[in-house]
Structure 1
Amino acid sequence: MKISKAVAAAAAAVALALTATACGGGSDKGASDGGASGDAKNKIVIGIKFDQPGLGLKTPDGKYTGFDVDVATYVAKELGYQPDQIEWKQAVSAERENLISNGDVKLVVASYTINDKRKEKVDFAGPYFLAHQDLLVRADDTSITKAEDLNKKKLCSVTGSTSAQNVKTKLAPEADLLEQGGYSDCLTGLENKKVDALTTDNSILAGYAAQDNNKGKFKLVGLSLSNEPYGIGLKKGDKDLQTKVNAALKKMVADGAWEAAVQKNFGPANYKSEPAPQITEGS
């Protein structure tokens, strides 16, 4: 009888330990595979911009729109996640590497230009889009057709913008540079003739110009002042995920979904995008 009780107690202890291990293991795997929080089978956390029309925008009704959102949604589906399984997280420019490195997001799809400095901290898939620095001017302005035309004129961009400094230091040193807190402030100034041009990536400019309340007011000059290959940021060393995301991007181009997303998000601004770029990361 004593032996029977001991055996029963030992069996109960083993069962309890196995149950605890199984629960703990499931939680760990979910956090690792799906993003910062939640089971991988239930959701994936993706970082996007919340304030860039045409690329990544959170609308007043809580929806998310833009080319980056469409790309991220397509990639997520190829990874096994439906749209309602995506958790969108705001990824401001200065925090993108930290969000990835800390495991707060699985992917960042946020007008994220691939460069060597960033690749020291994160890996990229793609590129999935090639943007260029350009100028946005009023639709009736014929005085600005090249960067040098900005000399003696007022140029607007956001505070700390590398695009504005590129123009100011290399192309039009006599431009009067005005830095604002956001692109919308520059657009207001451009419309009110307080400034003569706004500069940043042409994809961002096209997104603003394509908004319903801006249609017909502005135009892209059509310059290529820099190359900005957008990639999808992911944790450094995750070659398996990089390979899967690259495959999804190739499929998106092949089945026409990429071109459809370009036309939907940038078409109203008469934006002429580059063809889908060749995948270079991870190859």
Structure 2
Amino acid sequence: MIEESTDSTLHPGSNDRLRRALRSALTIFSVVVFLALGGVAACVEQNDPKRTVESLREKSPTLRDKVRLRVGVRETLPYLSFRDPNTGVRSGFEIEIAKALAADLGFSEERIDWVTVTNVQNRMHVLQANQADMVVASLTMLADRPVDFAGPYQLVPQAVMVNKQHTKRIDTVTDLRAPDIIVCTGIGSTSSQALEAKGIRLELVNDREQCIEGMKSGRYDAFSSDLPILASIVATNANRFEILSLIVADAEERIGVAVPKGDTALRDLIAYFLNRWLHGPQPSPWLLAYDRTIGPYLDARFRSQPLVDNPPQLVDYDSKVRPQ
């Protein structure tokens, strides 16, 4: 009788299988650990305590080592952006927005150098030529413009203004297309693009003052621009001009703060502060500025600060305010 072997020693093939199984288990464990550590690293990076308001101030080539801030604004639009020719005092919604942003960036009003800007091209040129550090002057946020934008700080429609005493009746876009109607607007403006798309005859000028003078003299039948600009004009010429209830463009204009191209740190700082106003204690700097300037001359539906594009998550150790 042959007895069965009770030897418990594993066959050499079994050892190989065990080693392969252990290697596979170790590989899977390593991958899991790697992915877990990667997730932790991502969280640490996302909540990097070094990403602060102060670190972005230092990173911005525009703000670095600056003791004064140059801000581009206009000076001929009452309640929006105006400079009193007698006293030199500036006032208006965009002036208030610029002052509040400058304060958040670390510049008191006494350390602001105001740079007067005019037409669309000039508003961008002062940034390109290093003559201004930021521009708050009703610039529409368009991707193809040679500047960067933070915002928007206002959403506004394109509108049309006419002379109350004008003999030609204008009520519709079709009326604006009539061959004897001449509409004035600025070169390179979003109004010009919207009106041309609707087949409206335009006369393009370098400065809106030419449109106003042409309206007064009867050269132009209508003037098209952003609603707040026209509201500013009507506020001081209520007996002469009125704004029509017309839909000129298919979408509202997104008005933003312009900064030098490529300065993402400054763009992010301004977006952060605008977003903090929106979600912070009310009334916000935006709402205070709006109510005491252009607000009373606009419809109530425009009395709200718009959502800000891609506001960064920062820590502001100066005010102890964390991102909303």
Task: Tell me the TM-score normalized by structure 2.
Answer: 0.64
Q: Hey, what's the Cα distance between the residues in 2 that align with 1:193 and 1:101?
A: 37
Indicate yes or no: 2:248 matched with 1:222: no
Q: Distance in 2 between matches of 1:122 and 1:151?
A: 34
Give the corresponding residue for 2:141.
114
- Residue 82 of structure 2: SS of its match in structure 1? strand
Do structure 1's residue 266 and structure 2's residue 291 form an aligned pair?
no
State the 1:201 CA deviation. 1.2
> Any idea what SS the aligned residue of 2:212 has?
helix
Distance in 2 (alpha carbons) for counterparts of 1:52 and 1:108: 15
Matching residue's letter, 2:139: Y
- Asked if the contact 1:74–1:248 (Cα under 8 Å) also holds between the matched residues in 2, the reply is no
- C-alpha distance in structure 1 between counterparts of 2:148 and 2:189, whole Å: 23
Q: What is the identity percentage for the equivalent residue pairs of Structure 1 and Structure 2?
A: 27
- Of 79-88 and 155-164, deviating more is 155-164
Q: How far apart are residue 165 of structure 1 and its match?
A: 5.2
Q: 2: CA distance between counterparts of 1:33 and 1:179? A: 34
The residue type paired with residue 248 of structure 2 is L
Superposition map of 1:122-271 within 5 A: 122-139=147-164, 143-152=169-178, 153-159=181-187, 161-164=189-192, 166-167=194-195, 169-173=196-200, 175=201, 177-211=202-236, 214-226=237-249, 227-253=252-278, 254=280, 255-256=282-283, 257-271=285-299
**Could you list the per-position Cα deviations for residues 102-124 of structure 1 after superposition, in whole angstroms to 9, with x for gaps in the alignment?**
43322111111111112xx4322
Q: Report Cα offsets for 1:68-103 as digits up to 9, x if no partner.
A: 111110111111221111111123421344432443
Compare the two structures and name the one with the higher helix fraction.
Answer: 1
Q: Is the 8 A contact 2:70 2:132 kept in 1?
A: yes
* SS of equivalent to 1:240: helix
Q: Secondary structure at the match of 2:233?
A: helix
Distance of 1:97 and 1:192 partners within structure 2: 31
Q: Distance in 2 between matches of 1:236 and 1:130?
A: 22
1:71 alignment partner in structure 2: 97
Paired amino acid for 1:49: R
Summarize the Cα distance change of 1:44–1:124 in structure 2 as closer, same or farther, 3 Å threshold. Answer: same
**How far 1:199 sits from its partner (Å)?**
0.7
User: Is contact 1:203-1:266 (8 Å) kept?
Assistant: yes
Larger-gyration structure (1/2)? 2
CA distance in 2 between partners of 1:90 and 1:84 (Å): 17
Measure the CA separation in 2 of the matches of 1:89 and 1:83.
14
The runs of 5 or more residues in structure 1 that have no matched partner are 1-28
User: Is residue 278 of structure 1 aligned with residue 303 of structure 2?
Assistant: no
d(CA) in 2 for partners of 1:137, 1:130: 22
Residues 111 and 194 of structure 1, relative CA distance in 2, 3 Å threshold: same
Aligned ranges 1:17-96 → 2 under 5 Å: 34=63, 40=66, 42-60=67-85, 61-92=87-118, 93-96=120-123
With over 3 angstroms needed to count, the CA separation of the structure-2 counterparts of 1:234 and 1:220, relative to structure 1, is same
Judging changes above 3 Å, is the alpha-carbon distance between structure 1 residues 146 and 261 closer, same or farther for their aligned structure 2 residues?
farther
2:152–2:255: 8 Å Cα contact kept in structure 1? Answer: yes
Mean Cα deviation higher: 269-278 or 78-87? 269-278
User: Cα–Cα, structure 1 residues 154 and 96, in superposed 2: closer, same or farther, change >3 Å?
Assistant: closer
Gaps of 5+ in 2: 1-57, 313-324
In 1, the alpha carbon distance for the partners of 2:96 and 2:292 equals 10
Secondary structure at 2:157 match in 1: strand
Give me the whole-angstrom Cα distance separating, in 1, the residues matched to 2:273 and 2:286. Answer: 11
